[in-house]
Homo-oligomer: A and B are copies of this chain.
Amino acid sequence: LRFEELISEKTIGRLSLYRRLLAGLMADNHQNICSHELAALSGGTASQVRRDLMAIGYSGSPAKGYQVADMAESIGRFMDNPDGSRAAIVGMGNLGRAIVKYFSGRNPKLSIVAAFDNDPNKIGRTVHGCFCHDIAEIAQVVAGLSIRLGVITVPAEAAQDIARLLVNAGITGILNFAPTHLHLGEDAYVEDIDLTMSMEKVAYFGQMGDSPDG
Q: Does A203 contact B (CB under 8 A)?
A: yes
Report chain B residues within 8 Å CB of A210: 172
The answer to whether A63 has its CB under 8 Å from any CB of chain B is no
Copies of this protein chain in the complex? 2
Contact with A202, one of B93, B173, B201 (Cβ below 8 angstroms):
B173
Q: Which of A99-156 contact B (CB under 8 A)?
A: 99, 101-103, 106-107, 110, 148-149, 151
Cβ-defined partner of A81 (8 Å) among B79, B189, B203:
B203
CB distance from A171 to the nearest CB of B (A): 8
Chain A interface residue number, banded: 35 or more
> A94 and B87 in contact (CB under 8 A), knowing A81-B203, A175-B202, A204-B79?
no
Q: B103 and A199: CB pair below 8 A?
A: yes
Nearest CB in chain B: distance from A118 CB, A: 19
Question: Are B42 and A203 touching (Cβ within 8 A)?
Answer: no
Which of chain B's residues have a CB closer than 8 A to the CB of A212?
A: 186
Q: Which residues of chain B have C-beta atoms less than 8 A from A60's C-beta?
A: none
Contact check: which of B9, B97, B110, B197 meets A199 at CB < 8 Å?
B110
Beyond A98-B97, A207-B172, is A42–B202 a contact (Cβ under 8 Å)? no
